[in-house]
């Protein structure tokens, strides 16, 4: 950019800020000292699929410890472990039967302590997943609670009488089917927002809350660096349980009836006081349906958590609720608006940047048009991940450019929600083929196929039979091959991560979106004092002109093409310094 244009740009920016001060944001971090979790990224591990050291076909804690140097090479400051507690594994660990013990499939408490210590030696903290909305139906608390209507834990869960032998309300669980399950022993129904085997806890009972806080403190005492708090928006239920507006099948998603019920923040502030306060930890909660404008009440000094995974940018395909076969086409301007709204809403707090996790399809297949080159797409998304304002979250395999794995029959899917979504689609009149198409696109198993370490059988994940098939691209998409290739997705991640970790502008700078109406380009800039970095990504499969006014004279410092043109090629991503 030449000097005249730069000055013009600066004046325009200042005027824009005067007219609408919310256009410039992110200044809060400039004034205060940074926390460790703001300076580096987080790597998310799904232990079941990471590395198996016993030949069981299932990953384990020792496998994670063995790969710590690999994880450290990504420049991360923490690892978020999805649940490793004792569990019947109906929902792969999100159905917990003992909050303070490690499931033998994953190892022992001694293995856990070793992981914490070895990670610490590499300046990496372990973040535990707290699943406090529900337990497993095999948890001793539930076994006692269901045994009678007057045992000491009788009201630890949500029990209701039915209406003339039918469920108390028309609520549908998030995994499909009624959210109520009849229990012969008590002659009552219990509520389960997720699977039948995941009964919801009754947070109104102070003894329940105390027991949960004690469990969290158990892990803090073992030296964990923080928590990812699961499905937290559902813990508070409405005072009255009534039928909700019915879909065609007569049911109403429990999500619409219970998410973020008023009063929930009182519970959460107590949680913060009893567990988080006084510790140098990172807390990030999963909060589907908390809108960007509500974020200030949930995060930051006056809120409860350090950051919140809200779903607005990953749910843009689901404007009518998260039923897969009602998905709409991806629209770039919606995606950008969601991200910008969240960046704006967290200008005084913090934001966890994520495009993948264990519940979402692989991003190279999710946010780009059909026919997009997957390597370019993986690098393009990485470019956004590391240049937005907040802590980047990398989900295992994302740094290798993992793609969706389509299985050819519903029976091949392990994920309980994929089966529920398939049944919903079939009940709505879709053929087997049509229903399967949506499962292939959105199944959580897309993110759960085993890590691909090398080109040996089962991608080096296990010597046994993997619990879920390895993706058939493993011979070329794996950590070993990619670490030896300078141009791989993996080495792109490593370089970008180093760059982000050492860039004050990227860590502290303000965020401002340019060209918000474009359905082709995502362009934003980060500014700190007189320094400016600009990210531009072409989301199409054709060439797109670069608006000269924005980039004239800018210096390219990163890109997913080796050279530079005066237009953006398909899926091209560039970081400019201005």
Residues acting as catalytic residues: 230, 286
Strand, coil or helix: 56:
coil
Q: How far is the CB of 176 from ligand GLC (least distance, A)?
A: 13
Q: How far is the CB of 29 from ligand GLC (least distance, A)?
A: 28
Q: List phi, psi (to 5°) of 501.
A: -65, -20
Of residues 91 and 137, the one with the C-beta less far from ligand GLC: 91
Strand, coil or helix: 41:
strand
**Which residue stretches of 222-325 are H helix?**
254-258, 264-271, 295-298
**Which residue stretches of 109-251 are H helix?**
109-121, 140-145, 206-221
Contacts of ligand GLC in 105-134 (CB under 6 A): 131
Q: How far is the CB of 322 from ligand GLC (least distance, A)?
A: 11
Of residues 358 and 379, the one with the C-beta less far from ligand GLC: 358
Of residues 59 and 559, the one with the C-beta less far from ligand GLC: 59
β-pair partners for 160: 189
Residue nearest to ligand GLC (CB): 94
Of residues 132 and 335, the one with the C-beta less far from ligand GLC: 132
Residue in 194, 282, 539, 558 binding ligand GLC, rule: CB under 6 A = 194
Q: How does strand 521-528 pair with strand 510-514?
A: antiparallel
Residue in 75, 76, 84, 91 binding ligand GLC, rule: CB under 6 A = 91
If binding is defined by CB under 6 A, does position 230 make contact with ligand GLC?
yes
β-pair partners for 395: 44
Strands (E), 180-279: 180-183, 188-191, 226-229, 252-253
If binding is defined by CB under 6 A, does position 201 make contact with ligand GLC?
no
Q: In what order do the strands lie in the sheet with 226-229?
A: 307-309, 282-286, 226-229, 125-130, 76-81, 41-45, 391-395, 352-353
If binding is defined by CB under 6 A, does position 94 make contact with ligand GLC?
yes
Per-residue binding string, ligand GLC, 357-376, x by CB under 6 A, is -xx-----------------
Q: List phi, psi (to 5°) of 574.
A: -135, 140
If binding is defined by CB under 6 A, does position 308 make contact with ligand GLC?
no
Of residues 424 and 568, the one with the C-beta less far from ligand GLC: 424
Q: How far is the CB of 112 from ligand GLC (least distance, A)?
A: 20
Q: How far is the CB of 91 from ligand GLC (least distance, A)?
A: 5
Q: What distance in Å separates the CA atoms of residue 473 and residue 269, rounded to the nearest whole number?
A: 46
Q: How far is the CB of 174 from ligand GLC (least distance, A)?
A: 7
Token pair of 431, please?
């053929």
Of residues 198 and 372, the one with the C-beta less far from ligand GLC: 198
- Residue 151 CB neighbour total at 10 angstroms: 14
If binding is defined by CB under 6 A, does position 216 make contact with ligand GLC?
no
Long-range contacts of 543-547 (CB under 8 A, 24+ apart): 543/567, 543/568, 543/569, 543/570, 544/520, 544/568, 547/515
Site residues (vs ligand GLC, CB under 6 A):
91, 94, 131, 194, 230-231, 286, 358-359
């Amino acid at each position: 950019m030449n000097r005249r244009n730069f000055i013009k740009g600066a004046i325009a920016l200042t005027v824009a800020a005067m007219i609408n001060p919310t256009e410039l944001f992110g200044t809060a971090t400039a004034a205060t000292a940074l926390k460790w979790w703001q300076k580096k990224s987080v790597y998310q591990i799904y232990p079941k699929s990471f590395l198996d050291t016993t030949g069981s076909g299932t990953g384990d804690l020792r496998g994670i410890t063995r790969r710590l140097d690999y994880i450290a090479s990504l420049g991360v400051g923490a690892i978020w472990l999805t649940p490793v507690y004792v569990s019947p594994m109906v929902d792969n660990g999100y159905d917990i039967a003992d909050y303070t013990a490690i499931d033998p499939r994953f190892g022992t408490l001694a293995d856990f302590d070793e992981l914490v210590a070895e990670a610490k030696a590499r300046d990496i903290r372990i973040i535990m997943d707290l699943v406090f909305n529900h337990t497993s139906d095999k948890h001793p608390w539930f076994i006692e609670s269901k045994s009678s209507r007057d045992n000491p834990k009788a009201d630890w869960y949500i029990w209701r009488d039915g209406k003339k032998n039918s469920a108390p309300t028309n609520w549908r669980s998030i995994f499909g089917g009624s959210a109520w399950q009849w229990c012969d022993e008590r002659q009552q129904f219990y509520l389960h927002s997720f699977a039948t085997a995941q009964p919801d806890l009754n947070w109104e009972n102070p003894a329940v809350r105390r027991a949960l806080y004690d469990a969290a403190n158990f892990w803090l005492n073992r030296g964990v660096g923080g928590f990812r708090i699961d499905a937290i928006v559902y813990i508070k239920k409405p005072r009255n349980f009534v039928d909700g507006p019915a879909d065609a099948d007569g049911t109403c998603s429990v999500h619409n009836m219970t998410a973020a019920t008023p009063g929930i923040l009182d519970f959460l502030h107590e949680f913060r006081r009893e567990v988080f306060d006084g510790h140098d930890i990172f807390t990030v909660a999963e909060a589907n349906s908390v809108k960007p404008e509500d974020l200030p009440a949930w995060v930051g000094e006056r809120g409860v958590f350090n950051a919140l995974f809200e779903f607005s940018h990953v749910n843009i395909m689901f404007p009518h609720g998260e039923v897969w076969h009602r998905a709409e086409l991806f629209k770039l301007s919606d995606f950008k608006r969601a991200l910008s709204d969240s960046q704006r809403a967290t200008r005084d707090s913090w934001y966890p940047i994520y495009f993948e996790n264990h519940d979402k399809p692989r991003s190279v297949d999710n946010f780009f048009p059909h026919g997009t080159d997957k390597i370019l797409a993986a690098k393009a998304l990485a470019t956004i991940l590391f240049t937005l304002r907040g802590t980047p979250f990398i989900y295992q395999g994302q740094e290798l450019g993992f793609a969706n794995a389509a299985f050819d029959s519903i029976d091949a899917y392990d994920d309980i929600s994929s089966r529920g979504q398939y049944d919903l689609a079939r009940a709505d009149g879709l053929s087997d083929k049509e229903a399967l198409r949506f499962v292939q696109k959105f199944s959580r198993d897309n993110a759960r196929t085993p890590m691909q370490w090398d080109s040996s059988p089962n991608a080096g994940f296990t010597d046994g039979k993997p619990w879920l098939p390895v993706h058939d691209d493993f011979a070329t998409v794996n950590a070993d091959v990619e670490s030896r290739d300078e141009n791989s997705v993996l080495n792109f991640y490593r370089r970008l991560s180093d760059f982000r970790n050492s860039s004050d502008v990227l860590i502290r700078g303000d965020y401002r979106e340019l060209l918000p109406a474009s359905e082709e380009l995502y362009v934003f800039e980060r500014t700190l004092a007189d320094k400016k970095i600009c990210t531009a990504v072409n989301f199409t499969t054709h060439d797109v002109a670069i608006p000269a006014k924005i980039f004239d004279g800018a210096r390219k410092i990163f890109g997913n093409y080796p050279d530079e043109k005066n237009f953006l090629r398909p899926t091209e991503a560039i970081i400019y310094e201005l």
